[in-house]
Structure 1
Amino acid sequence: MPSRPTRTSANHHTDDDHPRLLYQEATGPDGVRRVLELLALRLAGEVVLTGPHEEQAVAVPPGAERLLRVVAEDVDRVRAGDVDSAAVHADGHDVAVLPVGPPPARPVLVVARRGPLTAADRGLLAAAVDPLRLCRRAAIAEQRVERLAAADAAVREAVLHLLMVGHLSGARRTAAVLRPPLPDLARVYLVSGAPNTRGRLSARCRDVFGEAAWVVPCPVYSGHVIVIAPAGPAGAPPATHLIRELTDAVPDTRMGVGLRVALRDVPVGYKQAFHALSVARRRPERYARFSPRGELGELLGHAGQAWAASTLAPLLAHRPARTQDPDAFELLATLLSWLDFGARAASQLKVHRNTLAARLHRIGAELRCDLTRFDVQARLHLAVQLIDERPHPDAAAGVVGFPELLDHPEVRRWAEDRLAPLLPANRATLLTTVRTWFHHDLRTATAAAALGISAHGLRKRLSRVEELLGRSLVDGPSDRYDLHHALLAHPGLPPPG
């Protein structure tokens, strides 16, 4: 086509010869493209629908966008409403430019064919305007719904993240935008299904638990959905009928149920549900409740908080050199996320894996410790769990060392209770397996070689330990740190390794 075609302007109002077929195409999936393909086929030409500047043009065939360069001035005039339509003749092609919708900034239909456009052809184009307008508006509405759904999911995930890192007030303010308000007392349900069915599983959880519950796809595990539901009055059991309704309705669904916790303790409730889920995978009813056996942090009290503050002091005192660098709170949240989720912490924190690696390097440098050592990880995990920046009476009395912290009658009783499933003589092999795995810093191949078994055999033994303890051991959040402390505190066992 020549670069400067001749142009005329005109109005066209003809009856549609093919209304049924045009509306049939418009109501199908991807209606805009289907209508354009029908026009291109009937006219043996090229067709482009161009919307406002932020929209990408739809062209049939795909390379037909070059038409827009030829008739750019006419497209602008029709879009602005200066003319009702335009006709351009160029190098043996007839080009028609028609509006689709009211001005200003309206979409424009551009059609070119070799040879003249007949009256019947122009009638077909005029008849296509309304179906195109309707199916385009429907497509835009669907896109907006998708964007709103994505924004809703992002905000809900942000609320979950704020709860998990301890920003309770920020979580409440953000949640108030979406509704429902976050409950003061909650119970965490962790639902597991196939990764490719998580969208359907999330919708089903919303149907079953109702509008009062927060349903959030887990940002770490692709097959998990987290439900934070009001816990009800003290002593109220979990909603067993809801659990059964969900597990019965959705095949291959498993559910772990945490205890009743205050909203600030949702991270604890999540870990409880995670441990319960590891038990539910081995039960025919496909759900399990968390069975509490005492928490080490509660037994250590103020002495444990003082030890934690001393252990993490260099990290808490960190001040970033640049405003964009992570501060002490971000590094502490990063450390806890990594200790719980390993490499998956990048997904939970919404950072690149290289950013995660750089933060861990900074944390190791600040604390002057080797984060690859499992015993170091176990101590830091306990310290992060215990950290409390509020002053307490024992703070001025000095800080005890870690061995002395565990050398307490209540802690020793806790260790005996935690290790009880592994202490019978017929389970000595399992206890040895766990100790060897810890000693080799959780390196499966190295620990298996030291035990003289295959890596698969080691994983089977660890799975059996998970079943006996009723806790997750391999995947995080894991019980392996508490298990390590129990081995250290048990009066009848030598230290691991």
Structure 2
Amino acid sequence: MGEPVTPSLDSRRAADILTMHRLAGKADSVQALVRWLARRTGCWVGLVDPAGGVQAQSPRECDSDGMTLVADGLRVMRERGLRTFVGGESPGRSAALLAVGIPGDQSGSVPSGPVLAVVGPEPLATAAPADAGPLLGVCWRAQETERARRRVEIADARGREAVLHLLMSGNLTTAHQIASVLAPRLYDPARFHVIECGPGRRAETIRICTELTGGRAWIVGCPVYSDHVLMVAPATPLPAGARPLEAALTAEIEGCVVGTGDALALRDTATGYEQAFHALAVARGRPERWTRFDAALGLPVIVGRHGLTWADHLLVPLAGHVPTRATDPGSRTLTDTLRSWLVFSSAATRHMKIHRNTLASRLRCVEALLGLNLELVGDQAKLDLALRIAELPRVTDHGPGTVEPAPPAPAGDDFETLLRMPAVQEWALTQLRPVHEDAPALEATLRTWLRNDTRLRTTAQVLGVSVTGARKRLIRLEQVLQRSLLRVPNARHDLWLAIEILDHGRPDRNT
């Protein structure tokens, strides 16, 4: 038999280069190359910036003496304008530093980008570190470009989210100003769409939504639900024979579900979102996977000026709150937090970008100011109604540009008076008619759920069923009422008010 063939130096180098090119194709190519070099050389390998900060390194950390060698080498390279340097404290330990060539770098001889550092007994025993330099430069530039792209995407997404926040809080002027920079402009009137697309599919969904709307819709990844995309699209009439946007979305995005609100003015964006969310709960149970909100006049509009006195009186302590310390939240901050919490419950932390302790502290402050218990759905419902009434445009009889005088202090039973209004009674009947007519057996579940402040486990115990059984009944109620119940924003406030109106606010129709 012949002697075994020993690979030549050139063939080993060629194999190393092929291995490095394969590693350069990985997502974490810089780290993969550095780790391979450490195994190939038997040394510590790191990618350091000109100031000595380690950007990537082999799993085994370099000791302080080794890092001193690297720092001294970097200093010499700066002072002498070198792109390579080899030095050591003893024959058995040295450091080799090689400036990594970054594509497009015009800095000259002095390295301005990362430097490959190899510390060990024989850092340059192989050509691998020198051969890795150009590849590391390309990989480094690619990763830096990707980081920059991600930063731009994040900044754009946060800007769009900020515009949506402004729209939902009624700050239209600022929203239009920011939207004019980010594009597209905001159209008025508009329809709110909530697209439930599944986890990990938001980028694809946003791209398809942009294509289907011709880039004319304001599209945002939902800050509360990671599988939702929010879209404010122009409410333009459809050409003859054209399919609705919702149908196009469900056809193009596999498995998605779409809920759509009414065509509303931009100042009513918050209402449009809640409508679309309720429609989404209904769409989940329909084969076409989309539906539009079943429009019904809102209670704040029905009570109108009759409710302004009660609402203003309830909210006076909050509206007039002045914090004792500059760092404490003021009236506007407390009101915005309260609105977010009434809509999103504990998920308001994600919506407002605040810590849960901050949310709890602000809510305790609101409770102390208003004398309400925010754990009770009844107090939540009254407060939600008062805030929605207060947001209505105030029409005066004093001509344009005049301010409506403050209403007089109401009588103690003003809320009960609102409940007895015939129009309010009709609204309550409309809200609960689907239960009365189509699912009377579920009314006990609805009442129990509300009476126990929408706590699912307690509701199940009172009904004598499992939590899963109670959840299934509420899912059935969502389809009957065409409103969201299990996920916020849900219809708990309107439903509590409707039951309260019918139970305790019977009008005297003979008067």
Normalised by the size of structure 2, how large is the TM-score?
Answer: 0.84
Distance in 1, matches of 2:240 and 2:178, equals 29
Counterpart position of 2:452 = 440
> What is the distance in 2 between the residues matched to 1:164 and 1:54?
48
Asked whether 1:482 is paired with 2:480, we answer no
- Determine helix, strand or coil for the equivalent of 2:275: helix
Is there any run of 5+ residues in structure 2 with no aligned partner, and where?
1-12, 102-106, 398-404
**Which residue of 2 is the match for residue 473 of structure 1?**
485
Is 1:95 the equivalent of 2:92? no
| 1:67-119 C-alpha deviation (Å, 9 max, x unpaired) | 3322312213325662332221333134322222443533222223424845x
* CA-CA distance at 1:432 after TM superposition: 2.6
After superposing the two structures, state which structure 1 stretch, 82-91 or 313-322, moved more: 82-91
In the superposition, relative to structure 1, how do residues 249 and 236 fare at CA in structure 2: closer, same or farther (>3 Å)? Answer: closer
Offset of residue 124 of structure 1: 4.6
Q: Secondary structure at the match of 1:195?
A: coil
**Worse-superposed segment, 161-170 or 211-220:** 161-170
Q: How far has the Cα of 1:221 moved from its partner?
A: 1.7
Relative to structure 1, the CA distance from residue 187 to residue 89 in structure 2 (aligned partners, 3 Å threshold; closer, same or farther) is same
Q: Would you say the 8 A contact 2:48–2:116 is kept in 1?
A: yes
Q: Which aligned pairs between 1:127-206 and structure 2 lie closer than 5 A?
A: 127-206=131-210
d(CA) in 1 for partners of 2:313, 2:175? 29
**Which range is displaced more, 409-418 or 71-80?**
71-80
Name the structure 2 match of 1:267: 270
CA contact (8 A) 1:80 1:104 kept: no
Aligned letter for 1:326? P
Q: Which residue of 2 aligns with 1:85?
A: 84
Summarize the Cα distance change of 1:89–1:390 in structure 2 as closer, same or farther, 3 Å threshold.
same
Please tell me whether residue 355 in structure 1 is matched to residue 367 in structure 2.
no
Judge which range, 389-398 or 432-441, deviates more. Answer: 389-398
1:209-232 per-residue CA deviation (whole Å, 9 max, x = no partner) reads: 342222211111222111111222
Partner Cα distance (1:381, 1:375) in 2: 10
Residue 417 of structure 2 aligns with an amino acid whose one-letter code is E
Answer whether contact 1:79 1:108 (CA < 8 A) is retained: no
Residues 99 and 111, structure 2, Cα contact 8 Å, conserved in 1: no
Over 3 Å counting, the alpha-carbon distance change for 1:218 and 1:45 in structure 2 is same
Aligned 8 A contact 1:254 1:287 in 2: yes
Residue 426 of structure 2 aligns with which residue?
413
Is the CA contact (8 Å cut-off) linking 2:69 and 2:88 kept in structure 1? no
Q: Which amino acid aligns with 1:399?
A: P
Amino acid at match of 2:38: A
Q: Which residue of 2 aligns with 1:376?
A: 379
- Measure the CA separation in 2 of the matches of 1:179 and 1:246: 22
* Contact 1:412–1:491 (CA under 8 A) maintained in structure 2: no
- For the 8 Å contact 1:488–1:494, the answer to whether it is kept is no
Deviates more, 1:248-257 or 1:201-210: 201-210
One-letter amino acid of the counterpart of residue 341, structure 1: F
C-alpha deviation, 1:305, in angstroms:
2.1
CA distance in 1: counterparts of 2:461 and 2:55, whole angstroms: 61
Distance 1:490 1:44, change over 3 A: closer
Deviation track 1:395-431 (CA, whole Å, cap 9, x = no partner) reads 546636011112222222222222211223x743322
Cα deviation per residue 1:253-293 (whole Å; 9 max; x = unaligned)? 11101111111111111011001001000001111111102
TM-superposed deviation, 1:319: 0.9
- Residues 143 and 432 of structure 1: CA distance in aligned 2, closer, same or farther (over 3 Å): same
Paired residues for 1:225-244 under 5 Å: 225-232=229-236, 240-244=243-247
What residue number does 2:116 align with? 109
Change beyond 3 A, Cα 1:79–1:284: farther
Letter in 1 for 2:247: R
Relative to structure 1, is the Cα distance of residues 63 and 403 closer, same or farther in structure 2, using a 3 angstrom cutoff? same
Single out whichever of 90-99 and 284-293 deviates more from structure 2.
Answer: 90-99
In 1, are the aligned partners of 2:377 and 2:492 still within 8 Å (CA)? no
Name whichever of 75-84 and 235-244 sits farther off.
Answer: 235-244
SS at match of 1:369: coil
1:429 equivalenced with 2:441 (yes/no): yes
Q: Given that residues 96 and 123 in structure 2 are in contact (C-alpha distance below 8 angstroms), is that contact kept between their aligned partners in structure 1?
A: no
Structure 2 CA distance for partners of 1:334 and 1:89, relative to 1, 3 Å: closer
Give how far 1:337 is off.
1.4
Matched residues in 2 for 1:383 and 1:238: separation?
43
- Which residue matches 1:291? 294
Instruction: Go from structure 1 to structure 2 and tell me whether the alpha carbon gap of 1:93 and 1:467 turns closer, same or farther (over 3 Å shift).
Output: same
The one-character-per-residue Cα deviations of 1:328-353 (angstroms, maximum 9, x if unpaired) are 11111111211111111111111111
- Among 197, 220, 226, which residue is 1:222 paired with? 226
Q: What is the distance in 2 between the residues matched to 1:60 and 1:432?
A: 64
SS in 1 for 2:207: helix
| Stretch of structure 1 that moved more, 236-245 or 164-173 | 236-245
Q: Does 2:70 align with 1:71?
A: yes
**Partner residue in 1 for 2:341:** 338
Partner of residue 48, structure 1:
46
> Does the CA-based 8 Å contact 2:419-2:505 persist in structure 1?
no
For the residues of structure 1 that align with 2:465 and 2:18, how far apart are their CA atoms?
72
Q: Give the number of equivalent residue pairs.
A: 475
Alpha-carbon distance in structure 1 between the residues aligned to 2:257 and 2:70: 60
Partner SS for 1:335: helix
CA contact (8 A) 1:84 1:98 kept: yes
1:491 to partner: Cα distance: 7.7
1:4 aligns with: none
After TM superposition, give the deviation of residue 455 of structure 1 in Å: 3.4
Deviates more, 1:480-489 or 1:345-354: 480-489
Distance 1:81 1:198, change over 3 A: farther
Instruction: Say which of 322, 326, 329 aligns to 2:329.
Output: 326
What 5-or-longer segments of structure 1 have no aligned partner? 1-15
Aligned residue identity for 1:69:
T
Q: Which moved more, 1:348-357 or 1:80-89?
A: 80-89
1:79 to 1:168, Cα distance in 2 relative to 1, 3 A: farther
Aligned pair 1:455/2:467, yes or no? yes
Contact 2:373/2:379, CA 8 A, preserved across alignment: yes
Tell me the residue number matched to 2:6.
Answer: none
**Is the partner of 2:288 in helix, strand or coil?**
coil
How far did residue 27 of structure 1 move?
4.1
